[in-house]
Chain A
């Protein structure tokens, strides 16, 4: 076990990726993720690996696609607008079952967006994002340590399922400095070359007739794969849900605020619990099995103004509570330049308990 160091979330992404055997990284500078590029532009040449400062986010995703085709461990990273630019490339990665890993350090809002710590990219990330019919596994860390842990997990999952994995952090997690302990470094040269990697050898010398471009096999295999991942990959952390009358669903930085709010509400005698999704796709629907049968309500708490996670909480509710209606409430923090305070969350949960807030679903 290596020593514990103090490190920014963004730097932890970079260091964890290096230790996971990262061969090739390409990205374009954008706040609040640029430390990843800065860190790797220094470290990767020292290790004989390749970091390219690309001329755009689009170019960067296509560069890592090229390296991924040959079986290398790759990474790109960006923030909200830059990840939008990568969607076409990610869709091509999905089409070719390339196990690419990307990091989205979210900033807040539409268009240019601001530098606030927000969760405005939820909807895009969990639906695949690009054209077509696919899902990326989306991991959502809530601390610097978890960020580092999820990087190595991302490569494991990406290669196991030959699927895209996105790590969705946010400005606060990226900029936060916390203690972190890294796993032992893996030498990329020691990793086996995947059987599907393109090694430059001829495919076939036979005179096969030209095949139709779209085959039935791929969509069928995709469907099976997505259902398998949905079954196998769900991850969450639960806090005080056994006896909870109300259960808050919150991920990433706001979940840490909710945790403190729960302590205050417990002291006041309110039985509130929290489910913290660690995978946003697949959404941890199985977590609801931990809830007590007479739970009074579920609360989707997130830092975006439209309540992007809310429908997923409602769907999970529908899946689990088939015999009675359990209301789902929305706490969506529309002030895009900061995450809510503990007391704000305490007040908003009390408003729900006292019936002042209407249910959303």
Chain B
């Protein structure tokens, strides 16, 4: 088995809770950027929320823009630096709630960027409030009796929206709670970045993650909840395959 050192883009550490999938997903992205030889020609546009904790432990070039706007910031970078590998790194609250306009329109334009979104079914940094990805009936700090889909909407599945309505290059949803899914997710990240490098268009990889802190569960309970409940609502796999694949 090949030796896996820490990617050069990543510093040790990070301000994440035990069990969180953020660090695994971000590390996978760093590994793939490095494997593709883009560690010195890339820009990662960070979101606001747990996602921006990575900025402190990321050696790569990056930007910080307002909450929800990374897809737009990334657009400005990519349009003026076509050879640069331009990505966003966001949570679901940032990308799919406050930033839905930016995310939606970047996909709509088929912008040649790659969005990475961690979906933990809540706003995690602010203490576990309901997001648009919160499951029906799921209890959060702002849906204390369980999410009522009649008045708050049903879980938003953005990659599926991309599949149905846009001409995007690639969309996938992975998970990072066991080695098998971690390996698959790394493959999705590679496909998404290769699609961008080949100029095929917009790509997005969502990673479903546990959030033990805000789900108020142990790590084991969280993984159980993820497998039994979350993955029932959010199907894993390649949702838009690259053309010619």
Inter-chain contact total with CB atoms closer than 8 Å: 117
B79 and A200 contacting across the interface, CB-CB below 8 Å = no
**A203 interface hit (Cβ, 8 Å):** yes
CB contact under 8 A between A203 and B76, given known A55-B105, A59-B105, A210-B15: no
B66 and A63 contacting across the interface, CB-CB below 8 Å = no
**A89 interface hit (Cβ, 8 Å):** yes
Residues of B contacting A4 in the complex (Cβ-Cβ under 8 angstroms): none
A273 to chain B, nearest CB (A): 45
Residues of B contacting A62 in the complex (Cβ-Cβ under 8 angstroms): 65-66, 69, 72-73, 76, 102
Within 8 A of A (CB), among B44-100: 45, 56-57, 59-66, 69, 72-81, 84-85
Residues of B contacting A74 in the complex (Cβ-Cβ under 8 angstroms): 76
**B37 interface hit (Cβ, 8 Å):** no
Residues of A contacting B105 in the complex (Cβ-Cβ under 8 angstroms): 54-55, 59
B59 and A66 contacting across the interface, CB-CB below 8 Å = no
**B242 interface hit (Cβ, 8 Å):** no
A24 and B76 contacting across the interface, CB-CB below 8 Å = yes
B12 and A65 contacting across the interface, CB-CB below 8 Å = no
B59 and A204 contacting across the interface, CB-CB below 8 Å = yes
A92 and B56 contacting across the interface, CB-CB below 8 Å = no
Residues of B contacting A92 in the complex (Cβ-Cβ under 8 angstroms): 64-66
- B contact patch SS: mixed
A201 and B40 contacting across the interface, CB-CB below 8 Å = yes
A65 and B75 contacting across the interface, CB-CB below 8 Å = no
Complex CA distance for A198 and B80, rounded to whole angstroms: 12
Residues of B contacting A69 in the complex (Cβ-Cβ under 8 angstroms): 43, 63, 73, 76-77
B64 and A203 contacting across the interface, CB-CB below 8 Å = no
**B26 interface hit (Cβ, 8 Å):** no
Query: Which of B42, B43, B65, B79 meets A24, CB within 8 Å?
Result: B79
Residues of A contacting B40 in the complex (Cβ-Cβ under 8 angstroms): 200-202
Residues of A contacting B56 in the complex (Cβ-Cβ under 8 angstroms): 210-211, 213
Complex CA distance for A79 and B89, rounded to whole angstroms: 32
Residues of B contacting A26 in the complex (Cβ-Cβ under 8 angstroms): 76
Which residue on B lies nearest to A71, using beta carbons? B80
CB contact under 8 A between A208 and B11, given known A59-B101, A62-B76: yes
Which residue on A lies nearest to B67, using beta carbons? A88
Most central of A50, A70, A199, A211 by chain B CB within 10 Å? A70
Complex CA distance for A72 and B77, rounded to whole angstroms: 9
B76 and A68 contacting across the interface, CB-CB below 8 Å = yes
**A205 interface hit (Cβ, 8 Å):** yes
Most central of B40, B45, B61 by chain A CB within 10 Å? B61
Query: Which of B60, B66, B73, B102 meets A203, CB within 8 Å?
Result: B60
Which residue on B lies nearest to A203, using beta carbons? B59
**A23 interface hit (Cβ, 8 Å):** yes
Complex CA distance for A209 and B13, rounded to whole angstroms: 9
Q: How many residues of B contact A (CB 8 A)?
A: 39
Residues of B contacting A207 in the complex (Cβ-Cβ under 8 angstroms): 11-12
Residues of B contacting A316 in the complex (Cβ-Cβ under 8 angstroms): none
B172 to chain A, nearest CB (A): 24
Which residue on A lies nearest to B75, using beta carbons? A63
Complex CA distance for A45 and B59, rounded to whole angstroms: 35
**B154 interface hit (Cβ, 8 Å):** no
CB contact under 8 A between A202 and B61, given known A62-B69, A62-B102, A210-B13: yes
Which residue on B lies nearest to A72, using beta carbons? B80
Which residue on B lies nearest to A68, using beta carbons? B76
**A58 interface hit (Cβ, 8 Å):** yes
Complex CA distance for A63 and B108, rounded to whole angstroms: 15
Complex CA distance for A200 and B80, rounded to whole angstroms: 12
Complex CA distance for A50 and B79, rounded to whole angstroms: 7
**A56 interface hit (Cβ, 8 Å):** yes
**A64 interface hit (Cβ, 8 Å):** yes
Residues of B contacting A60 in the complex (Cβ-Cβ under 8 angstroms): 72
A84 to chain B, nearest CB (A): 14
Most central of A24, A69, A96, A208 by chain B CB within 10 Å? A69
B39 and A198 contacting across the interface, CB-CB below 8 Å = no
**A67 interface hit (Cβ, 8 Å):** yes
Within 8 A of B (CB), among A197-227: 198-205, 207-211, 213
Residues of B contacting A208 in the complex (Cβ-Cβ under 8 angstroms): 11
Query: Which of A88, A89, A198, A199 meets B63, CB within 8 Å?
Result: A198
B73 and A198 contacting across the interface, CB-CB below 8 Å = no
Which residue on B lies nearest to A26, using beta carbons? B76
Complex CA distance for A70 and B83, rounded to whole angstroms: 13
**A287 interface hit (Cβ, 8 Å):** no
Most central of B15, B65, B76, B77 by chain A CB within 10 Å? B76
**B9 interface hit (Cβ, 8 Å):** yes
**A52 interface hit (Cβ, 8 Å):** yes
Residues of A contacting B81 in the complex (Cβ-Cβ under 8 angstroms): 70, 200
**B164 interface hit (Cβ, 8 Å):** no
- Some 8 contacts from A to B, beta carbons below 8 A apart, are A58-B72, A62-B73, A68-B76, A69-B76, A70-B43, A70-B77, A200-B85, A202-B9
Top 8 closest A-B pairs, CB basis?
A66-B76, A62-B72, A67-B76, A66-B73, A63-B76, A62-B69, A66-B77, A55-B105
Task: Tell me the A residues contacting B by CB distance below 8 Å.
Answer: 23-24, 26, 50, 52, 54-56, 58-60, 62-70, 72, 74, 88-89, 92, 96, 198-205, 207-211, 213
